[in-house]
Amino acid sequence: MVSYHRVRMLFALILLFSLCSTAPASSSQATSQALSHAVIDASGVLDNWQSLAIGSDGLGLIAYWDETAKVLKVAHCNDVACRTATITPLVTTTTEFGSIELTIGRDGLGKIIYNVGGQIFLAFCQNISCTSIQTKPIHSGGNSQLLIGSDSNPIIFSTTGSSPDNYQIKVSHCDDPQCQAITTTKLTDTLKTSSPLVAAIGSDGFPLILYYDNDLLQHMLIHCSDVACQQTTTSALPIATYQANTDSDMTIGSDGFPIITYKTIQFDQLGIIHCENILCTTYTNVYHDDFWLGTHPSVIINSDGLPLVSYSVDRNQRRDLYISRCLDLACNDITTHILDKTTWIGTQDMALGNDGLVLIAYHDLSRAQLRVIHCKDIACSEDGVNLFAQYAPMLMQTPTSMVVPINATAIPDQAVTTLGQVFFTTSISIPQPIPSGGRYVLAGNAQGTAPSIVDDKVVLKAGNQTIFEFEYGGTGTPNPTLVEVPNAIIESHIGQTITIEFRDVYGGRIQASTMYLVWIP
């Protein structure tokens, strides 16, 4: 007797074969046809500096320099795919300009750090579209990075000095959200570094800063022990000198530890470091040798909890835009797709949209344009792979793990602003397929062993409908809990995007731990 499972498998194989006979051939390095390409600004944008974030309205916000006009501009996407955008000129200069970084504050509005004439400025967007700003000078300096600390205040990291041979790295911590008062601290003695700084908020809620030491020929990672970076610990990442390079990026993995991408010196290969603790005193290092990288790679954590890397590759008198999806947390295996092979690509930046798909902003230097790509699936792949993905669950083995990051940065105890305040909001995508059996928990770590905490309530919503909520305690101190989410809720939202809110209920104080949605066997 033929089992139902075998009949279904045979049917799926026949169906997949028929699809592949008409769909475009796919490969690990295929030109993508399932992407939304858009030209955002064609007015002669030649500079390499741009920064992308997803605004509190769920739409992309891009800050960039227009070198031709010498203007700092902001583009606010008009839809999730950013097919069109509203462009606002913000700052005009006649002098030299440099690095730029945009992030979204806890107030839901953009914050932009930029450099003009050797002076660092912090701009505060006055609305979601950032059509107007208020600007505050910080101090003289060069390359800079901007974070929003766990205390909701801006933190600026910058290099200062007359040349890359005698730079110092400084941190300027705003003592309030509007940066009316600033505490500046020197993080390093004089050193040689030509690399852009890279910064991220660690899973402990404190900043991490990555830079490249030209004398030591290795990356250095500074870990702050407090939100203002008054106390720090520095770790060296002694990669072989022929591998290390100045072009790098960093994010925090779903396990709570840094993921670092870089370009190797000798062969311009893609290198990826997976730290095994927050200080990165132990790590794995892999590199993929079939590329010739042009510009530094950018890395984010995809909606499946694994790293996604974008970068450019020099080939045939072009500089193509590539994307690589890691198949494991350490990126031992990757799948790669070419997103644009028609031009000379400048730098690029990525952000994970509220739809669970990636938005990429980059400079097309050949055409002097700012362009945007919106991926149509989790791998940013071509039509053939999209078709396969529709039927792959019929053939795939059931997953044996699932970790979806919700909040990678703890929110410290603080006074509530208003009774019933929603003090944290994010969106996650439920993977497809999901593991069988077991249970799903809202945990404080990616392993699903630590309890989570929200003062007072966590709410899961599909659209405008609440599908699950849990209160961590009554009017008193909330209780750390490993919160179990019913399997039926997860199973009924496979492949869908749900919204997570942290809410105050009783007034007084608010706080929240890091949080992950984890499947436990």
- Annotate 362-385 with DSSP letters as a single string: EEETTTTEEEEEE-SSTT---HHH
Q: Of 311, 318, 201, which is closest to residue 261 (Cα–Cα)? A: 311
**Residue 245 pLDDT:** 57
Query: d(Cα 24, Cα 483) in Å, to the nearest integer?
Result: 45
Structure tokens at 406: 């919700």
Check residue 9 and give its pLDDT: 43
Predicted pLDDT at 46: 66
Structure tokens belonging to residue 25: 């051939």
Query: Token pair for residue 276?
Result: 């095994």
pLDDT given for residue 68 in this prediction: 79
Selection from 452, 454, 472, 450 nearest residue 511 by Cα: 454
Residue 437, judged by CB atoms within 10 A of its CB (0-12, 13-18, 19+), counts as: exposed
Confidence tier at 394 by pLDDT (50, 70, 90): very low
Q: What are phi and psi of 491, to 5 degrees?
A: -65, -30
| 58-68 pLDDT, tens digit each | 899 999 988 87
Mapping DSSP to helix (H, G, I), strand (E, B) and coil, where does residue 226 land? coil
Contact 297, 246 (CB under 8 A): no
pLDDT tens digit sequence for 314-339: 777 778 889 999 999 999 999 988 89
The H or E element containing residue 235 is strand 232-237
pLDDT one-digit tens code per residue, 477-505: 889 999 999 999 998 888 788 899 999 99
Average pLDDT value for the chain: 83
Written out in words, the top-level CATH class of the domain with range 29-388 is mainly beta
Query: For the domain with range 403-520, which CATH number is right: 3.40.91, 2.60.120, 1.10.10, 3.90.79?
Result: 2.60.120
Nearest to 363 by CA among 371, 355, 375: 371
Domains 29-388 and 403-520 are alike in CATH topology: no
List pLDDT tens digits, range 87-125: 999 998 878 777 899 999 988 899 999 999 889 999 999
Residue 412 contacts residue 424 (beta carbons within 8 Å): no
Query: Which residue(s) pair with 186 in the sheet?
Result: 170
The pTM (predicted TM-score) of the whole model is 0.70
* Separation of first and last alpha carbons in the chain: 32
**For the segment 18-32, what is each residue's pLDDT rounded down to a tens digit?**
444 443 333 334 344
Amino acid at 396: M
CA 520 to CA 368: how far, in whole Å?
A: 50
Bridge-based pairing of strands 283-288 and 439-443 is unpaired
The candidate with the shortest Cα–Cα distance to 493, out of 471, 448, 459, 463, is: 463
Rg over alpha carbons for the chain, rounded to the nearest Å, is 23
List Cα–Cα distances, 65 to 43, 393, 457, in angstroms. 12, 44, 42
CB count within 10 Å of CB 504 equals 20
Residue 3 in 3-state DSSP? coil
Give the closest residue to 173 by CA, choosing from 140, 143, 145.
145
Q: Is the dihedral of CA 138, 139, 144, 149 positive or negative?
A: negative
CB–CB of 135/91 below 8 Å? Answer: yes
- Quote the pLDDT of residue 235: 92
Checking if the pLDDT of 240 tops 80, the result is no
Q: Grade residue 48 by pLDDT with cuts at 50, 70 and 90.
A: low
pLDDT at site 327: 93
State how far the alpha carbon of 86 is from the alpha carbons of 76, 352, 353, 467, 501, in Å.
Answer: 5, 20, 18, 35, 29
CA angle, corner 7, sides to 5 and 13, nearest 5? 100
Cα 317 to the chain's mean position, in Å?
Answer: 30
Pairing of strands 258-263, 110-116: unpaired
The pLDDT tens digits for 270-308 are 889 999 999 999 999 887 765 566 667 899 999 888 999
| Banded pLDDT at 410 (limits 50, 70, 90) | confident
- Strands 29-31 vs 334-340: parallel, antiparallel or unpaired: parallel
Domain residue limits, the chain: 29-388, 403-520
pLDDT at 242 over 70: no
What pLDDT is stored for residue 163 in this prediction?
A: 66
Sheet of 182-186, strands arranged across:
144-148, 154-160, 168-174, 182-186
Confidence bin at 349 (pLDDT 50/70/90)? very high
Classify residue 188 by its DSSP letter.
S
Q: Is it the case that residue 221 has pLDDT exceeding 90?
A: yes
Q: Give the whole-angstrom CA distance, residue 249 versus residue 199.
A: 8
pLDDT at position 219 is 85
Whole-Å CA distances, 12 to 9, 17, 19, 395, 431: 5, 8, 10, 7, 21
Neighbour count for residue 474 (Cβ, 10 Å) = 11
Is residue 251 pLDDT above 60, yes or no?
Answer: yes
pLDDT band of residue 404 (cuts 50, 70, 90) is confident
Percent of the chain with pLDDT over 90: 43
Structure token pair of residue 211? 């830079």
| Cα 353 to Cα 337: distance, rounded to the nearest angstrom | 19
Query: Which pLDDT score, from 0 to 100, does residue 463 have?
Result: 82
| 450-473 per-position pLDDT tens digit | 899 999 999 999 888 899 999 998
CA distance 331 to 270: 11
Beta-bridge partner residues of 114: 100, 121
Dist. CA 167–CA 433, nearest whole Å: 50
pLDDT(35) > 90:
no
> And the tokens for 412?
């410290």
What per-residue confidence (pLDDT) applies to 294? Answer: 62
Closest C-alpha among 293, 289, 269, 279 to residue 220: 279
**Dihedral (C-alpha) 435, 438, 440, 441: value to the nearest 10 degrees?**
-140
Residue 384 — φ and ψ, nearest 5°?
-60, -40
Higher pLDDT residue, 313 or 441? 441
pLDDT at 382: 59
The SS3 of residue 513 is coil
For 146-188, write each residue's pLDDT tens digit: 999 988 999 999 988 766 667 888 999 999 999 999 999 988 8
